[in-house]
Chains A and B, each alone.
Chain A
Amino acid sequence: MPPTDLLRWPLVGTLLRWRHVRTAAQLVLLVVALAIVLHGLFGRQLAATNLATVLAWIHYRGLLIGALLLAGNLFCAACPMILVRDAARRVHAPSRRWPRRLGKWVALALFAAVLFAYELFDIWALPAATAWIVVGYFAAALLIDLTFTGASFCKHVCPVGQFNFIASTLSPLEVRVRDRDVCRSCTTVDCIKGRRERRTADKPEAATSGERAPLVVIQRGCELALFLPSKVGNLDCTFCLDCVHACPHDNAAIGFRVPGDELADDRRRSAIGRLSRRPDLAALALLFTFAALLNAFAMTAPVYTVERALAGWLGTESEALVLGLLFAAGLAVVPVALGAAAAAATRGLTPGSGPSVRSTAVRFAFALVPFGAGVWLAHYGVHFLTGAGAIVPVSQSAAIEATGRALLGEPDWRGMGLRSGAVFPFQLGAVLVGALGSSALVHRIAGRDFPSRAGRAAAPWILLVLALTAIALWIIGQPMEMRGTELGG
């Protein structure tokens, strides 16, 4: 039995057990999404004063990474796209199955493409483009989930979902079984299958004609195919709590655990398998980590030096080409090369039987996730901490824009947030704690897979973590630049 269960806590537990808690949270984010779309499309096209850019790029991202690291995958749970999708599925039910052989590769490509487009088109500065991205997300979720069954969009397509899944491995909370013995005696497995009832109310003539009334889903099970008794960790869990509501034995719990511990856990996981046999998930871990560095690097002045040097070397003025090469190097070539080199060094230092170089790289790649999360937190956290207060003057400005009158007062920009210099210790701490977490995981994985030579096996990966940490510290030490102003801007 887990030592703690949030579902048993007063107030918090009552709220989480409330059947409509998810819908309520989704409605809140749906209103936010509507505000983003309306103001983004019809408001003044100035990022600093538009709700679309401020809510999406300051608040959403900052709160997202904060919630993931302090609690769990709350933003997937509250995703408004699923609310709209659920409504649409009442009109059109999907029938096809997503081809599982694709793994996470489609989502990985989309994740990289979104990051690339964000930099190339300066999306942070474009309210209308931000609004269209939100509209595009809703459209994609509808298209995918009205075609394919289950939570295909969340599991196989959504770039934000993949970010949340891999970051939620570091969350302190997870949904899990309360008592395994109860699961062993369970015959209905409602947590995965859901519950259906024959409802004569939906077909009254069935009661008299002897015809069977239609089966109606009264509580769905896990749409991501995570069977609770063999679920390990948070990967692919949207925290929707469907399993909690479905379990007839009240045997699902939300418990505390050691953040990141699951990244060194190679047990077979429901609907996932073993991490050591999932190169696509290892690639997600690498992408998550190196994208954090690249995304933060793009905020600094030296990125323009690199871009200009590349442009000069190639003899081109095409920002798409230069940025494309930078992204290909930063998100694919360099991570794969460094991972391969570290894995080869590990195998070179641990001769004899053991996993192949490729398998070694896959196993250790997951250890980099805490470091990546630290860099994301340092980056998104600084925007949030220095700019969260912008919501007040931006709302005041939007009111003037909409009505011509200062209904909420004149925009008061004084309480934006902390000074950027004041958040440096926070950034430093985030990167260092992340690096420490990664180092600890390297040792755990080395001890698990190379028990007789754990120190030697870990050494190349510790060096890699140290090198990446040095790069991250250099990046956060750079003065922030106004991006997108050079090389064609």
Chain B
Amino acid sequence: MTRRIAARGRVVVPVLLAAGLAIASCGGRTTSSTSLSWTLTPASPAVGPATVTVTLRDPAGSAVTGAKVRLEGHMPHPGMPPVIADAAERTPGVYVAPFTFTMAGDWVLLVSAALSDGGRIEQRIDVANVRPPG
């Protein structure tokens, strides 16, 4: 039986590896040529409220309107609940999200935009050393 398992393993393991590699290499989170830029206010935040402004432009430089823009703020340790914020479109192509840093330290903000044409764009923002409150 062990021999049969080993023989099966010789087939299954490479197949799983190949499938994983294929999935990992062909996948992706950004499926649009739309550009995304952002600003964080204040630029050097402390624990408490901040604002993230996201601007979406198409390759011709025109505003991309009607997108659903979402922010996920993650902490370095896995298993910590992220801070989620949805952005509202204030002016055409400009989306503003209120965001609250709940802990001091490093943060990673994932900005994702689901475009009205079905495309998807995502960007990672590393925010280093959010200061303690006060």
CA distance A58 to B75 in the complex (A): 14
- For the complex of A and B, list the 4 residue pairs with the smallest distance between their C-beta atoms, beginning with the closest: A387-B79, A482-B105, A42-B24, A38-B20
Residues of A within 8 A of B81 (CB): 386-387, 413, 416
Residues of A within 8 A of B25 (CB): 42
- 7 cross-chain CB contacts under 8 A: A42-B20, A48-B108, A57-B79, A87-B5, A87-B6, A401-B29, A485-B105
Chain B interface, number of residues (Cβ within 8 angstroms) = 40
CA distance A128 to B76 in the complex (A): 14
Query: Considering the complex, which residues of chain A in the window 48-80 have a beta carbon less than 8 Å from any beta carbon of chain B?
Result: 48-50, 53-54, 57-58
Q: Is the CB of B23 within 8 A of A402?
A: yes
CA distance A441 to B110 in the complex (A): 51
Residues of A within 8 A of B104 (CB): 481-482, 485
Chain A interface, number of residues (Cβ within 8 angstroms) = 50
What residues make up the interface of B, taking CB atoms closer than 8 Å to A? 1-3, 5-6, 9, 13, 16-17, 20-21, 23-29, 31, 72, 74-82, 84, 103-106, 108, 110, 120, 124, 128-129
Q: Is the CB of A413 within 8 A of B84?
A: yes
Interface residue? A208 (CB, 8 A): no
Q: Is the CB of B76 within 8 A of A485?
A: yes
Q: A481-B105, A482-B103, A485-B106 are in contact. Are A46 and B74 (CB under 8 A)?
A: yes
Residue of B nearest to A383 (CB): B79
Q: A48-B74, A387-B78, A481-B105 are in contact. Are A404 and B29 (CB under 8 A)?
A: yes
Q: Is the CB of B110 within 8 A of A42?
A: no
CA distance A31 to B80 in the complex (A): 25
Interface residue? A120 (CB, 8 A): no
CA distance A50 to B78 in the complex (A): 8
Q: Which of these, A41, A49, A50, A125, contacts B77 with CB under 8 Å?
A: A125
Q: Is the CB of A48 within 8 A of B78?
A: yes
CA distance A489 to B84 in the complex (A): 25
Q: How far is the CB of A404 from chain B (nearest CB, A)?
A: 5
Q: How far is the CB of B106 from chain A (nearest CB, A)?
A: 5
Q: A87-B9, A402-B23, A413-B84 are in contact. Are A390 and B31 (CB under 8 A)?
A: no
